[in-house]
Amino acid sequence: MNYYVKAIGKNIFAGGTDKWLKIRKIWNMGSSYEIEVRVRNKKMFIITDNKPENIKFAKGWPGLMPTSFNSVLKGINNGSN
């Protein structure tokens, strides 16, 4: 299963796009998480805590289904990405 992230609210154009981005990797950095995505074929990172604000998550493609950050973490940790 592939997982996606999208900036909303005040972060909507922070990375230069308002599109759904495929999550490539997630690292636990102690009190925060680092999420690797690609924008225009350039590697970029999102830093967030356990309760991300201004970020939405979804799974599956096509026909994205909303999901929680905890579900993304469990899915990626189980090797389904």
Q: What does R_g of the chain's alpha carbons equal in angstroms?
A: 12
Note the pTM of the prediction, 2 decimals.
Answer: 0.84
Task: Report the distance separating Cα 30 and Cα 25, nearest Å.
Answer: 16
Angle CA 71–16–5, to nearest 5? 5
Q: What is the pLDDT of residue 52?
A: 84
pLDDT band at 71 (very low <50, low <70, confident <90, very high): very high
Amino acid at 35: I
- The number of folded domains in the chain is 1
Q: Residue 52: which domain range? A: 3-77
Query: At residue 58, does pLDDT exceed 80?
Result: yes
Q: What is the pLDDT of residue 10?
A: 75
Helix (H) or strand (E) holding 69: helix 69-77
Q: What is the pLDDT of residue 4?
A: 95
